[in-house]
């Protein structure tokens, strides 16, 4: 099992935590050229690194906490030419094939079968993290963390140019307000009903 992550030096702490929880070795993708990559660029780098290692199953998170594009895992699968499933809640392995449970809208689920190798984006909160024992923490210090940059991966320079540009970032406009309705209970009920029907349009 390999823990792979892309980012600055602080990413190593996450990789070391994964090693303490049972991963065999780590790969840290670090290069100033990676700093401003969009989802496509990140996926390209991850796919290249994963392909060089060889794997049966590539697991990614569903989406990042900052932009929440939910595209990195999907694009990685496409670049690798592998089957993939998103928003995965459960995984079963039987006779060399996968059966995965996907979360859909409105509380529905879907079971999908696919061959290996494959790429899965995992829904957050599906599993309880394995406890990092003292032995695991000590052993993690001896495990390899390979650092790779753009040159080591032989990345096409065109892939390091973002395909998406942020033109503006702003806070959402707050348009909610509280209104106090006065009068007798009967008058309040009439006014409230009118506002719910004609302003809030809930009826």
Per-residue pLDDT of the chain (203 residues; tens, 9 = 90+): 899 999 888 988 999 998 998 888 999 999 888 888 888 888 999 998 998 888 889 998 888 777 778 888 999 999 999 999 999 888 888 888 889 999 888 888 899 899 989 999 988 877 777 788 888 888 888 888 889 888 888 777 777 777 777 788 888 887 777 888 888 999 889 988 888 888 877 77
Residue 124 domain-assigned (yes or no): yes
Residue 134 in any domain: the answer is: yes
Q: What CATH number has the domain bearing residue 115?
A: 3.40.50.620
In a domain, 182, yes or no: no
Tell me if 196 is assigned to some domain. no
Nearest alpha carbon to residue 29 among 2, 59, 69, 55: 2
- Residue 36, judged by CB atoms within 10 A of its CB (0-12, 13-18, 19+), counts as exposed
Structural domain of residue 86, as residue ranges? 2-160
pTM for this entry: 0.72
Residue 139 lies in a domain: yes
On whether residue 191 sits in a domain, the answer given is no
């Amino acid at each position: 099992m390999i823990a792979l992550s892309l980012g600055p030096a602080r990413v190593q702490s996450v990789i070391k935590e994964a090693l303490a929880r049972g991963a065999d070795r780590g790969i840290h993708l670090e290069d100033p050229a990676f700093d401003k990559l969009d989802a496509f660029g990140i996926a390209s780098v991850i796919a290249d690194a994963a392909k060089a290692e060889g794997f049966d199953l590539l697991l990614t998170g569903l989406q990042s906490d900052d932009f929440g594009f939910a595209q990195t895992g999907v694009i990685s699968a496409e670049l690798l030419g592998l089957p993939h499933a998103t928003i995965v809640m459960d995984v079963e392995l039987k006779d060399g094939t996968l059966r995965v449970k996907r979360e859909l809208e409105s509380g529905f689920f879907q079971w999908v079968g696919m061959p290996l190798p494959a790429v899965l984006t995992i829904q957050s909160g599906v599993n309880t993290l394995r406890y990092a024992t003292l032995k695991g923490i000590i052993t993690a210090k001896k495990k390899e963390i390979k650092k790779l940059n753009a040159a080591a991966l032989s990345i096409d320079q065109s892939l390091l140019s973002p395909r998406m540009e942020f033109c503006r970032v702003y806070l959402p406009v707050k348009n909610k307000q509280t209104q106090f309705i006065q009068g007798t209970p009967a008058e309040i009920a009439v006014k409230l009903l009118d506002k719910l029907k004609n302003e809030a349009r809930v009826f």
